[in-house]
């Protein structure tokens, strides 16, 4: 039996800024300690379940389909680091990863924790054949009795004897750090509470640097030094970031000679460095922060390498000696290109590898240090794909490890010989159940935005899917923080494609698919371009009869959920339905409240509404502030009670206001996961329950259930 839609009680709260008064009827939902708030969220969950009960069999079918496509017992490609080769594996019916290693070229000093696990197959254990496996951390053991478990920040000490790791049992990304003796298998008494997952060892192997966070705003603002065997209260504060718009973190250089401490915000960066052999020494400033100057540094041999946007919108690569880091002494290694965004780089003894973005696609450029004019690009033969640098811990290697996937090809790991330009496929994720990539077709399309810009669309469908306007289509978008949405593979997505759905990604402004300009044109006062780009893509797909507005669905998460909320306010008639995952929809109220986590650090992304112009910009598109009495598409909204990035009350308030205002009878559903945060539930099986729910909702609304 379907329950009656819950109606949240109205308690008017008055907000006034710049002479503008806003009355928020649902501000009371911010109090997570109020039993009435929890009761309301649970009533919404019960209502969603009652509506979706009709798709119960479909959800179970989808879940089993998705689960049965991936290998239950599997392992990653091992990567060498020092004397060991590291990898992660999964066992059948277990939710969490098991982190392992094998010694290269010898036996362990203590074999008590070693087991004889068969090698995973050809090419996956190069250099470790015959060595016994050591389990360094079984997350399934940690997760026993927990509703949520996320392990991150794993760092093995330089001599390989200790493992430091961060664990979160709530989903709010506030971690506890533990340290494990890998010989005895025992946890040390050292525990660091209420910190981040940012960890790095000094070269002595008993000094650990970590980043702490503000308990209210969750800003990463302090770096501490911890010595094994001491209490957390004795840890030394080595750096504190006073500017509330900046975060900080610490890492180690490619050469392992330096600890690198970065302070950063949207448009500015600052680095300090410290000899990793002298952990008690002071950090030295590399180059002071400047407005609109972003840079990243690494060190190899006797030089620092600097990726910088100084006089280079799309970034360039510079180098400097250790003894002369002032910018006037930087020299150019890779020049700026107006049509190419310079991304990550990897330093090898004989080669430099840079990740470039050209015309919306990633390219890997390899150049010898001795003859840079003989550089070349790694060849890829698909029109739509994603490529990325993988784990390359040995700078003396002639082999580059990279990842590759596409909308039709599962994730693959390659070793690429940079001298003879040959590649070896180490592993391609196996998709069970008779998957054949030749049954699917991907393509790149271009939609024209109102201002004339051409917006790329990556699209995939099963062969034979009609192009007569009758096919349902799911259009995905993000468009924020300069994060590009690349054409990656999803085995779960096959459950939609095989039932007749088309899937498309709108590469809207706010990402960096077409360079830094693409990002700058989708933030601050130009944020509306993100939404009009998405609408232009939707209109193009209907004009070309790939779909029609009665069969068109939108999806986005976090800032992509803001995109969903904005476009269904602007053009509700264009979409049949939408899925908004942990959506950032109460933008104006959040950005006016710097006690909300992440707010102050994002003024350069969204604008600071304490200024009148930014206030009006944000107010013009903030989804919650622009809900009106009119028909809306069918809507499924997902939230997490412990979300540290988009607070649960944003989607809750949005749904409450929509339910009170909208004039149609289409489904409006809110599901709040009471044991999860921004990334959803933990565990490889549990997360697919939510995917099955989303897909069942879409298929039901498209009449394909």
Catalytic residues: 558, 643, 678
Residue 2: both structure tokens together: 């379907």
- Give dist(CA 625, CA 644) in Å, integer: 22
Q: 187-216: b or e for each residue (b if 16 or more CB lie within 10 Å)?
A: eeebebeebbbbbbbbbbebbbbbbbbeee
Neighbours of 325 (CB within 10 A): 18
Of 199, 248, 252, residue with least CA distance to 226: 199
Cα–Cα–Cα angle for 76, 81, 85, rounded to 5 degrees: 45
Of 80, 72, 104, 77, residue with least CA distance to 88: 77
Question: Quick check: 598 and 542 in contact, CB under 8 A?
Answer: no
Question: Quick check: 180 and 188 in contact, CB under 8 A?
Answer: yes
Of 494, 487, 501, 462, residue with least CA distance to 411: 487
> Could you give the 3-state DSSP secondary structure of residue 125?
coil
Whole-angstrom Cα Rg for the chain: 26
Phi then psi for 253, rounded to 5 degrees? Answer: -75, 165
Cα–Cα–Cα angle for 246, 28, 663, rounded to 5 degrees: 105
Between the alpha carbon of residue 576 and those of residues 22, 107, 535, the distances in Å are 30, 61, 13
Of 653, 485, 505, residue with least CA distance to 585: 653
Would you say the C-alpha torsion 477, 522, 307, 458 has a positive or negative sign? positive
Residue 496 zone, left/alpha/beta (φ > 0; ψ -120 to 50; rest): alpha
Question: Quick check: 695 and 705 in contact, CB under 8 A?
Answer: no
Listed in order, strand segments (DSSP E) in 37-119 are: 74-75, 79-81, 84-90, 98-103, 114-115
- Give dist(CA 693, CA 56) in Å, integer: 9
- Give dist(CA 495, CA 501) in Å, integer: 9
Neighbours of 388 (CB within 10 A): 16
Question: Quick check: 507 and 457 in contact, CB under 8 A?
Answer: yes
> Could you give the 3-state DSSP secondary structure of residue 625?
helix
Q: Which helix (H) or strand (E) holds 687?
A: helix 686-701
Between the alpha carbon of residue 496 and those of residues 147, 472, 492, the distances in Å are 29, 10, 8
DSSP3 helix / strand / coil % (the chain, rounded to 5): 20, 35, 45
Widest distance between CA atoms in the chain: 74
- Give dist(CA 235, CA 167) in Å, integer: 20
Of 522, 549, 384, residue with least CA distance to 453: 522
Sheet holding 440-448, edge to edge: 440-448, 454-462, 502-506, 473-476, 552-557, 577-581, 634-640, 668-673
- Give dist(CA 284, CA 260) in Å, integer: 10
* Nearest-10 Cα torsion for 55, 57, 58, 61: 160
């Amino acid at each position: 039996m379907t329950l009656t839609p819950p109606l949240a009680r109205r308690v008017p709260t008055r907000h006034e800024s710049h002479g503008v008064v806003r009355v928020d009827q649902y501000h009371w939902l911010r109090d997570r300690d109020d039993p009435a708030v929890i009761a309301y969220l649970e009533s919404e969950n019960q209502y969603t379940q009652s509506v979706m009960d009709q798709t119960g069999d479909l959800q179970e079918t989808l879940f089993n389909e998705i689960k049965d496509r991936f290998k239950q017992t599997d392992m990653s490609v091992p990567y060498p680091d020092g004397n060991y080769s590291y990898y992660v594996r999964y066992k059948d019916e277990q939710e969490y990863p098991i982190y392992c290693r094998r010694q290269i070229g010898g036996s362990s000093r203590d074999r008590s924790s070693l087991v004889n696990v068969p090698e995973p197959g050809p090419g996956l254990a190069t250099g470790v054949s015959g060595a016994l496996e050591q389990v360094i951390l079984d997350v399934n053991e940690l997760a026993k009795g927990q509703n949520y478990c996320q392990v991150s920040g794993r760092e093995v000490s330089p001599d390989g004897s200790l493992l430091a790791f961060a664990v979160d049992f709530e989903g709010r990304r506030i971690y506890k750090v533990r340290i494990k003796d890998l010989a005895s298998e025992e946890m040390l008494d050292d525990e660091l509470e209420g910190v981040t997952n940012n960890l790095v060892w000094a070269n002595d192997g008993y000094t650990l640097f970590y980043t702490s966070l503000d308990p209210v705003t969750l800003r990463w603002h302090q770096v501490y030094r911890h010595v094994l065997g001491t209490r957390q209260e004795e840890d030394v504060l080595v750096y504190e970031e006073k500017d509330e718009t900046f975060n900080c973190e610490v890492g180690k250089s490619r050469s392992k000679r330096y600890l690198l401490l970065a302070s950063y915000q949207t448009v500015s960066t600052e680095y300090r460095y410290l000899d990793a052999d002298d952990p008690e020494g002071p950090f030295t400033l590399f180059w002071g922060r400047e407005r609109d100057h972003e840079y990243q540094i690494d060190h190899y041999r006797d030089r620092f390498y600097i990726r910088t946007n100084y006089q280079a919108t799309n970034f360039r690569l510079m180098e400097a000696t250790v003894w002369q880091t002032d910018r006037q002494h930087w020299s150019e290694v890779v020049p700026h290109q107006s049509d190419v965004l310079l991304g990550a780089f990897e330093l090898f003894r004989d080669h430099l590898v840079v990740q470039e973005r050209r015309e919306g696609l990633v390219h890997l450029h390899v150049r010898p240090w001795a003859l840079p004019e003989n550089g070349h690009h790694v060849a890829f033969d698909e029109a739509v794909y994603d490529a990325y640098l993988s784990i390359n811990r040995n700078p003396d290697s002639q082999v580059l490890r990279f990842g590759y996937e596409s909308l039709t090809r599962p994730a693959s790991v390659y070793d690429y010989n940079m001298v003879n330009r040959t590649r070896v496929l180490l592993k391609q994720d196996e998709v069970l159940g008779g998957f054949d990539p030749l049954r699917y077709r991907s393509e790149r399309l271009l939609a024209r935005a109102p201002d004339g810009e051409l917006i790329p669309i990556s699209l995939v469908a099963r062969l034979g899917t009609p192009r007569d306007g009758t096919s349902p289509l799911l259009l995905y978008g993000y468009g924020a923080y300069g994060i590009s949405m690349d054409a990656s593979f999803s085995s779960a997505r096959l459950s939609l494609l095989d039932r007749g759905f088309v899937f498309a990604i709108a590469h809207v402004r706010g990402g960096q698919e077409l360079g830094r300009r693409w990002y700058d044109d989708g933030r601050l006062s130009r944020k509306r371009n993100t939404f009009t780009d998405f609408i232009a893509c939707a209109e193009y797909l209907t004009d070309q009869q790939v779909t029609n507005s009665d069969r068109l669905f939108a999806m986005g998460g976090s800032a992509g959920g803001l995109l969903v909320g904005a476009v269904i306010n602007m053009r509700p008639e264009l979409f049949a339905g939408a899925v908004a995952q942990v959506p950032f929809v109460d933008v104006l109220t959040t950005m006016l409240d710097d006690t909300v986590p992440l707010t102050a650090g994002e003024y350069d992304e969204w604008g600071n509404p304490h200024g009148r112009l930014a206030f009006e910009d944000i107010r013009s598109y903030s989804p919650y502030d622009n809900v009106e009495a009119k028909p809306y598409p069918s809507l499924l909204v997902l939230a997490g009670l412990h979300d540290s990035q988009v607070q649960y009350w944003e989607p809750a308030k949005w749904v409450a206001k929509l339910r009170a205002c909208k004039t149609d009878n289409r489904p409006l559903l809110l599901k709040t996961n009471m044991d999860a945060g921004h990334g959803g539930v933990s565990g490889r099986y549990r997360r697919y329950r939510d995917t099955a729910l989303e897909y069942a909702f879409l298929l039901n609304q498209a009449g394909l259930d």
